[in-house]
Amino acid sequence: MSLKKLFIINAASSWAAMIVSIFSNLIVIPIMLSKLGVDKFGVWSLLSYGLAYPAILQSALCLAINRYVAYYNNDPKQLNFCVSASFVTFLILSMMTVIASIIVSFYLTNMFSSIPLSLAKDAQTGCILVGMTLAVTMLGASFSGALMGRQAYTVSNGITIIGDTLRGVFTIVFLLFWNSIATVQFAFLLSSSISAFLMYFAAKKAIPFLKVSLINLSKRNLIELFSFTLHSIARSGSTIFIQNTLLLLVGWKGTSSDVTVFTIAFRLPTFLRGFISSAQNVFLPAVATLCAENKLDEIKSIAKRGTLLCGILTFIPSILLFFFTGEVLQFWLGNNFPNETVNVMRVVMISTTPAFFEIWLPVLVGMGHVRALTVTSLLTVLGVIGITMLAFEYTTVPMAPAIALAITYVVRTAVWMPIYGSAKISIPSLEYFKTSVFPLFLSVCITSIVIISFKRWDFVQNFHWIISLTICAMFTTIIFGLFSAREEMRYIFTLFKKKLSLIGVSR
């Protein structure tokens, strides 16, 4: 199979896994909220997402395994050393996670005001199950990373799809018999255990010579894994750290209802950000190859056109979701969500919209400029936490982290990243703004005016909101096409004309 075809298949399977995960969450979360209620759902969210700090090392180390399995693809001895080193690391980390979850479970009500005494016992059991779930997931990450290093993305993503599907099914079935935090988390533990076993057997089949040793380890491979992991922890891990820490701060300062508002308000924007990140990651190998060939002009073109294309992908759903937040949430969750969720989610959307500037992330990483990204990621973490603590004094508990994210992400992603990136590849700031940024903001302004005018028009007040959303989506797509994707539309129109001419000639 050619490398291009393999790349397309791997990318498609990754998108399929993400889509299944999103739809699973969209179906399961309303059921959980309805069965558990606002308080139990808030406590479960606090435990399940707020205590997931080991996922930072897991995601970064999994990338390192991916890289070194691919690097030692033709060296069975070194490949086994690499996988064994990662498995032992995860084994130690998983045991520490379970022990830590048991210790923390005894102090939950003292640590978080959002956990009422009536739910203390259920929360304690749920906390221990969260630790066990994280431990099992980490053990499976060694083998999922090995599968991806062997270019078996379809197998790894297929198992991920099975795990997400089982998680949803188990959760719904278990909630029919017992509405508790522990019930939900046990469903997550069971599905994660099945996924980990499947990853192991799939890795053994994909890599026939794979042997995991707990004793015979290579010091060299341990050093390689952790040196590659450090920058990944600071960059990709910073996002996980921010989300977990903000959730814990809301649980420490507010009520279980505040935690529910925070969790729901961040859910849909997080899905959107995940889609944009997946689209941007496609550019990383291309930039690395162009950098090795010293083709700077083509890298500049990727940065400029990538900004436009990712901006269209970001702004179209963001604008529509911003103006139809209340309707979408009511359609998704019924009347089970707190009223403040609408305003908090709109502020979170503001922090999500600069994500299109993160096209500079694969560009700068592909060119080897990682140190500055690491430093700014650490500063972003400090900025978000600091602003959140200050905002607690002036606004509601769930609104404070949303405001902090909006301020910090706009400064980091929409201001610093394009300025720094443009300087590194020698694109004049005025040229970049004129060709890549101005068409997007012009489209946003025109679209916003059109949607506001449309929603205030008396004639459309009797329309169902889905009809209004569809009409606004059509307007938005056309406007962004006219102002931001003119070259792409011109290219499509040219191909269409050639197709018509060929049909005429054939006749």
Q: Which residue has the higher pLDDT, 438 or 86?
A: 438
Q: Is the dihedral of CA 110, 112, 113, 118 positive or negative?
A: negative
Confidence at 503, pLDDT banded by 50, 70, 90: low
Domain extents in the chain:
1-236
* pLDDT mean over 262-270: 85
Number of other residues whose CB lies within 10 A of the CB of residue 326: 16
Indicate the Cα dihedral angle 498, 499, 504, 506, nearest 10°.
110
| Cβ neighbours of residue 352 closer than 8 Å, sequence gap 6 or more | 269, 272, 273, 314, 318, 409
What percent of the chain is predicted at pLDDT more than 90?
Answer: 16
Number of other residues whose CB lies within 10 A of the CB of residue 444: 21
Whether the per-residue pLDDT at 491 is higher than 60: the answer is: no
pTM over 0.85: no
C-alpha 316/C-alpha 48 separation (Å) is 31
What percent of the chain is predicted at pLDDT more than 70?
Answer: 83
N-term to C-term CA, the chain: 37
- Top-confidence range, 213-222, 238-247, 304-313, 440-449: 440-449
* pLDDT mean over 180-188: 91
Confidence at 136, pLDDT banded by 50, 70, 90: very high
* pLDDT mean over 136-147: 84
Nearest to 149 by CA among 63, 210, 84: 63
Confidence at 103, pLDDT banded by 50, 70, 90: very high
Confidence at 218, pLDDT banded by 50, 70, 90: low
Whether the per-residue pLDDT at 443 is higher than 60: the answer is: yes
- Top-confidence range, 21-30, 201-210, 438-447: 438-447
| Cβ neighbours of residue 389 closer than 8 Å, sequence gap 6 or more | 249
Nearest to 485 by CA among 254, 248, 316: 316
